[in-house]
A and B are shown apart, each in its own frame.
Chain A
Amino acid sequence: MRSSRIWITGVGLVTALGPDVATTWPRLVSGVRGLAPLTLFDTAGQRASMVASVAPAYFEDASREGLTGDGAARAWSRTSAFAWKAVAEAMTHAGLPVAPVERSGDRRRLGLVVAGTTGGMFETEALLGDLHANPTSTASLVKMMSQPLTATGDRLVSRFGPFCRVRSLCSACSSGANAFVVGALWLLSGEVDAVVVGGTDGLCRLTVSGFNALTATDPDMCRPFDARRKGINLGEGAGFAVLERASSAVARGASVVAELSGWAIGAEAHHITQPDPSANVAARLIARSLRRGGLSPRDVDYVNAHGTGTAANDSMEAAALATALGQEIERIPVSSSKGQVGHMLGAAGAVEAIFSALAVKHQLVPPTMGLEEPDPACKLVHVLRAGRPARVRAVLSNSFGFGGMDTVLALTEPELGPPPARAEHERRVVVTGVAALSSRGLADAEDAATWVDGSLSHAGAPAPGPLAFDLISQLDPARVRRLDRPARLGAVVASRALAAAETGTGPIDRAEAGIVLGTAFGNLEASAAFMHRLFDKGPRLVSPAEFPNLVPSSPVGHVSIYLGLQGAAFATADLATSGECAVLQGMELVAGGEVDVVVAGAIEEASALVEKVLACLHGGASSGVPMPRSRARSEGASALVLEDEEHARLRGATPLARIERGYTWTDATEVALEAPRDPGRARVVVGRDERAAKKLIGTPWDAVRRTSLAPFAGDHEGLGGTALVAATSMVHRGLADEVLVVGTSNGRGYALLLVMYGLR
Chain B
Amino acid sequence: MDLSLLKQDIKQLIIKELNLEGRDPASIPDDAQLFGALTGVADSPTVSLGLDSLDALQLAMSIEEKFGVRVPDGSEARSIFASVASLASFVAERTPAG
- The segment out of B3-11, B17-25, B27-35, B85-93 that lies at the interface is B17-25
Chain A residues contacting B64 (CB-CB under 8 Å) are 540-541
Residue of B21, B57, B73 near A545 (CB, 8 A) is B57
Chain A residues contacting B54 (CB-CB under 8 Å) are 214, 271-274, 544-545, 548
A545:B17 contact, CB within 8 angstroms: yes
A477:B22 contact, CB within 8 angstroms: yes
Chain A residues contacting B55 (CB-CB under 8 Å) are 545
Q: Please tell me the size bucket of the interface on A.
A: 10 to 19
Chain A residues contacting B57 (CB-CB under 8 Å) are 213-215, 544-545
Minimal beta-carbon separation of B20 from chain A (angstroms):
6
A252 is an interface residue with CB less than 8 A from chain B: no
A481:B61 contact, CB within 8 angstroms: no
Contact A481-B58, Cβ < 8 Å, known A271-B52, A537-B65: no
Chain B residues contacting A271 (CB-CB under 8 Å) are 52, 54
A705 is an interface residue with CB less than 8 A from chain B: no
Residue of A215, A541, A544, A545 near B65 (CB, 8 A) is A541
Minimal beta-carbon separation of B42 from chain A (angstroms):
13
Contact A544-B21, Cβ < 8 Å, known A274-B53, A537-B65: no
Minimal beta-carbon separation of A481 from chain B (angstroms):
4
Chain B residues contacting A477 (CB-CB under 8 Å) are 21-22
B73:A541 contact, CB within 8 angstroms: no
Chain B residues contacting A159 (CB-CB under 8 Å) are none
B21:A543 contact, CB within 8 angstroms: no
B19:A481 contact, CB within 8 angstroms: yes
In the assembly, what is the distance between CA of A472 and CA of B22, in Å?
11
A482 is an interface residue with CB less than 8 A from chain B: yes
Chain A residues contacting B61 (CB-CB under 8 Å) are 213, 540-544
Instruction: Give the total of B residues in contact with A, Cβ under 8 Å.
Output: 16
Contact A481-B52, Cβ < 8 Å, known A215-B57, A537-B65: no
A256-272 residues at the B interface, CB under 8 angstroms: 271-272
Minimal beta-carbon separation of A205 from chain B (angstroms):
17
Chain A residues contacting B73 (CB-CB under 8 Å) are 215
A481:B20 contact, CB within 8 angstroms: yes
B65:A482 contact, CB within 8 angstroms: no
| Chain A residue with the shortest CB-CB distance to B56 | A544
Minimal beta-carbon separation of A562 from chain B (angstroms):
14
A543:B58 contact, CB within 8 angstroms: yes
Chain A residues contacting B53 (CB-CB under 8 Å) are 274
Minimal beta-carbon separation of A209 from chain B (angstroms):
11
In the assembly, what is the distance between CA of A274 and CA of B54, in Å?
9
Residue of A540, A541, A545 most packed against chain B (CB within 10 A)? A545
| Chain A residue with the shortest CB-CB distance to B77 | A215
In the assembly, what is the distance between CA of A273 and CA of B73, in Å?
17
In the assembly, what is the distance between CA of A543 and CA of B18, in Å?
11
In the assembly, what is the distance between CA of A176 and CA of B18, in Å?
32
B13-71 residues at the A interface, CB under 8 angstroms: 17-22, 52-55, 57-58, 61, 64-65
Q: Mark A520-561, 1 if CB is under 8 A from B, else 0.
A: 000000000000000001001111110010000000000000
Minimal beta-carbon separation of A554 from chain B (angstroms):
13
Chain A residues contacting B58 (CB-CB under 8 Å) are 543-545
Chain A residues contacting B21 (CB-CB under 8 Å) are 472, 477, 481
| Chain B residue with the shortest CB-CB distance to A214 | B57
Minimal beta-carbon separation of B6 from chain A (angstroms):
20
Minimal beta-carbon separation of A268 from chain B (angstroms):
15
A interface vs B, CB < 8 Å?
213-215, 271-274, 472, 477, 481-482, 537, 540-545, 548
Q: 10 smallest A-B Cβ distances: which pairs?
A: A481-B19, A545-B58, A544-B57, A541-B65, A544-B58, A215-B73, A273-B54, A545-B54, A541-B61, A544-B61
6 A-B pairs whose Cβ atoms sit less than 8 Å apart in the complex? A213-B57, A273-B54, A544-B54, A544-B58, A545-B18, A545-B58
Starting from the known contacts A213-B61, A271-B52, A271-B54, 8 additional A-B residue pairs (CB-CB under 8 Å) come to: A213-B57, A214-B57, A215-B57, A481-B18, A481-B21, A541-B61, A543-B58, A544-B54
